[in-house]
């Protein structure tokens, strides 16, 4: 009986530790900078990681860790233009890139290939 109670307390402590640790590791885009690219026509209509259909004309983006639905201001460092996008996919998984933009999002800030950007969660 005592052993069972000790195991129950130990189990609760372990669950609490992992729950708290996960909460502390919440992803943030504040101050994040790096390369941005875009993905477009070939992906239009395909399912994104959150289950919705990708729309190259929507102001959306893919980020590795930010939660789906997060709003992020993406600023092109070369021209100062910015756009607010909604995270609905995972990626990019290429080199040092920090975000993949939809074609509309990239066009809004003047990105035609790869560009240096800063991200701020709004």
Burial of 62 (0-12, 13-18, 19+ CB in 10 A): buried
Q: Is the pLDDT of residue 119 over 60?
A: yes
Specify if 38 maps to a domain.
Answer: yes
Residue 12: partners with Cβ closer than 8 Å, 6 or more residues away: none
Tell whether 64 is covered by a domain. Answer: yes
Q: Is the model's pLDDT at 10 over the cut of 50?
A: no
Q: How much is the CA Rg of the chain, to the nearest whole Å? A: 19
Beta-bridge mates of residue 72: 85, 121
Domain around 74 = 28-121
Cis peptide before 92 (omega within 30 of 0): yes
**CA pair distance 20, 110, nearest whole angstrom:** 41
Q: Indicate whether 107 belongs to any domain.
A: yes
Asked whether residue 21 is assigned to any structural domain, the reply reads no
Entry pTM = 0.76
Number of folded domains in the chain? 1
The 10s digit of each residue's pLDDT in 52-93 is: 999 999 999 999 999 999 999 999 999 999 999 999 999 999
Between 83 and 94, name the one with better pLDDT.
83
Q: What pairing do the DSSP bridges indicate for beta strands 82-89 and 60-62?
A: parallel
Q: Please indicate, yes or no, if residue 14 is contained in any of the structural domains.
A: no
Say which CATH number the domain at 98 has: 2.40.40.10
Give domain status of residue 95, yes or no: yes
Answer whether residue 2 is part of any domain: no
Q: In angstroms, how far apart are the furthest CA atoms of the chain?
A: 69
What percent of the chain stands above pLDDT 70? 75
* In-domain check, residue 104: yes
Is 70 in a helix, a strand, or coil? coil
Q: Would you state the pLDDT for residue 45? A: 96
């Amino acid at each position: 009986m005592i052993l069972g109670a000790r195991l129950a307390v130990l189990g609760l402590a372990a669950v609490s530790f992992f729950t708290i640790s996960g909460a502390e590791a919440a992803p943030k885009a504040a101050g994040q900078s790096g390369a941005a690219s875009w993905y477009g026509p070939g992906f239009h209509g395909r399912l994104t990681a959150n289950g919705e259909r990708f729309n190259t004309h929507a102001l959306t983006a893919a980020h590795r860790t930010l939660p789906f639905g997060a709003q992020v201001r993406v600023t092109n460092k070369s021209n100062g233009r910015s756009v607010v996008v909604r995270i609905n996919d995972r990626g990019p998984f290429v080199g040092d890139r920090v975000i993949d933009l939809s074609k509309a999002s990239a066009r809004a800030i003047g990105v035609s290939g790869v560009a240096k950007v800063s991200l701020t969660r709004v």
